[in-house]
Chain A
Amino acid sequence: MMVQPIPVPEDSINATPALDVQGLSVEFPTRRGVLKAIDDVSMQIAPGEILGVVGESGAGKSITGLAVLGLLEHPGRIAQGAIHVGGRRVDTLTEAELTKVRGREMGAIFQDPLTALNPLFTVGKQLVETIRLHTGMSKTEAEGRALELLRSVGIPAPEERLRQYPHQFSGGMRQRVVIALALAAGPRLIIADEPTTALDVSIQAQITALLRKLCDETGVGIMLVTHDMGVIAETADRVCVMYSGRVVESGPVGDVIHNPQHPYTKGLMAAIPSLHDRVEVLSQIDGSMPRLNARPSGCAFHPRCPHAGPKCSAQKPLLQKVGTTSAACWLQQGGTQ
């Protein structure tokens, strides 16, 4: 907490990234020692850009999102690194200061829309509450904005819907309300943690299309956390592949999908079932991701990697540019020997 915020040139809003994470590490002190959930993760999101963060469960995707929001659950803590949202450093803020940034500068969308809304308040009340809190609008103005928001997320008959309770909405409609709430104060960044996982497939496409549309219209940056490569392929501009608390590959979404560099990304891509080629057995990556307290030395993926060499278990590879993408793998950095 002694680190001074890095001054960010504020010549124009567009030059300032919506999110800038540098060297972030998150730790969970436990009785058996300190567990590193996230280890030296960096990522940037430009305004109007969707960054897909993908990986298996436990890779640290959600923890990264929660760390940005300052909502890490006790005893989790940010051990290293800096997080800037819209040019403002947020990881050093006190809880009281964070309360003013959350909802205003950054919004959140969580996995389960059925439980994200308070069941005892009307949708309108929850919207108006959030809008007034961050903008100081009068009640009538806020109601007007609430209407506008519901309309922009594609909810039919918004005047009626404002007076209804969450249980009167379907899952997909509720997720739209959640998105409207995240957008309420016009934030620069939205952390969307598995926003479509709990929804029907047909609704999933609608929600991702909506996110894409809002992103283009309002210039908000979105961190789209998911384990679904299909969602990323359709929606994101760039993608970050995480494995065991580290970013193993990142780059423009098309390049990463069609020309993955890291063996883990290759495995992920091969595991996506295709409609065109009929196969008898679905491809999978053997083994499972290591637990936090038993992370292998060197590259954490080496026990499962078909190309692993002696160097992989000895030394951690760093993220380095390979053509248009970056990968953290010795294969591209002088071999595994």
Chain B
Amino acid sequence: MLAFIIKRLANAVFVMLSVTFLAFVIFRFVGDPVDQMLNEQATQEQRDDLRERLGLDKPFLVQFTTFVGRAATGDFGISFRNQRDVLDMIAERFPATFELVLVATFISLIVGVPMGVITAIKRQSWYAETMQFTSIIGISLPSFVVGIGLILVFSVWLGWFPAFGRGDTVDLGWWTTGLLSHSGRMSIVLPALSLSLFQITLVMRLVRAEMLEVLRSDFIKFARARGIPARSIHFRHALRNCLMPVVTMTAMQIGGLIAFALVTETVFQWPGMGLLFIQAVTFVDVPIMAAYLCIVALIFVVLNAIVDMTYAVIDPRLRGAEK
């Protein structure tokens, strides 16, 4: 067990280092931040001075090791553009994105899993066919179109939900949440829905495919021979055996959504990390971009670890040496 944990940790460190290195290399080519920070009349002296202050005159490897060393202690430096601590800026934005992604994931599971089961067990029925067909639309519509469509119908025409922003937030000290205020809850509906539409389709199709596979297996046949009612066979015996890939995919999607909720956040002007990143790209704000990439990589590493632990909860065969 200990060996496993150590191996896991070493793995994680390696992944993080690689990502950091890649990020660092790539950002050397996005443009010279000094150009963005000074106006055109700045003298060469001023430029060199700034370059020195930012540490950009040092050789590449020195810059990289300094960066890694600081990042390990949570210090990602000062934003070139805002002159504020990068970690603070990201910490400010993280709760918004995280809540959005969590609600979207929740919706996609609540809707997608039952739909997957139904389309698998009632394959020939008209409603299963309809769901299958509709899901193709769901998977092929780009998310900004969905977002704009939702705004048009539910904010402009019906006026049920706000079209942008996060509503009122409650500060818990270490976390600002929109889920505790009415306007916050109303505000999260449309962006979460727009973000989850693709996920619903994905979950549904995955569950359906897995169910069809599991329902063919011997232990399902034997369960039927034992006289277990269909309902219990489908939702108790079969569904649980489908969960592994669903958990894996959901976790990876959470990571993906946190990283790439950019479009939805832009459409709904959601004050999350995605929006911050887009702005950072526009202004070649390297510290923010680098910190953002590192945090996203960290999220993936953590999610992966959680997935591995969940496996053991779901499947007794993976619970190590327990006799």
Contact = CB atoms under 8 A, between A and B. Distances in A.
Interface of A: 69, 71, 95, 99-104, 107-108, 110, 112, 115-122, 129-130, 133-134, 165, 167-168, 178, 181-182, 184-185, 191
Interface of B: 217-219, 221-230, 237, 240-241, 314-317, 323
21 contacts: A95-B230, A99-B224, A99-B229, A102-B224, A103-B226, A108-B222, A110-B225, A112-B218, A115-B218, A116-B218, A117-B219, A117-B222, A118-B237, A119-B317, A120-B241, A120-B315, A130-B228, A133-B228, A165-B316, A167-B317, A182-B226
Given A118-B219, A168-B323, 5 more contacts: A99-B227, A100-B227, A110-B222, A115-B218, A118-B241
Contacts of B317: 119, 165, 167
Contacts of B222: 108, 110, 116-117, 178, 181
A129 B228 contact: yes
A184 B226 contact: yes
Contact of B226 (A95, A102, A121, A168): A102
Given A119-B241, A167-B316, A130 B219 contact: no
A119 B315 CA distance: 8
A69 B222 CA distance: 11
A181 B219 contact: no
B227 A120 contact: no
Contact of A110 (B221, B229, B230, B237): B221
A121 B222 CA distance: 14
A117 B317 CA distance: 13
A234 to B, nearest CB: 25
A184 B315 CA distance: 25
Contacts of B219: 115-119
B227 A101 contact: yes
Contacts of A119: 219, 241, 315-317
B227 A102 contact: yes
B147 to A, nearest CB: 39
Given A117-B219, A120-B241, A168-B323, A181 B226 contact: yes
Nearest to B223: A118
Nearest to A108: B225
Given A118-B237, A119-B316, A168-B323, A110 B218 contact: yes
A103 B225 contact: yes
Contacts of B227: 99-104, 130, 133-134, 185
Contact of B228 (A103, A117, A178): A103
Nearest to B318: A167
B162 to A, nearest CB: 44
Contact of A120 (B218, B224, B240): B240
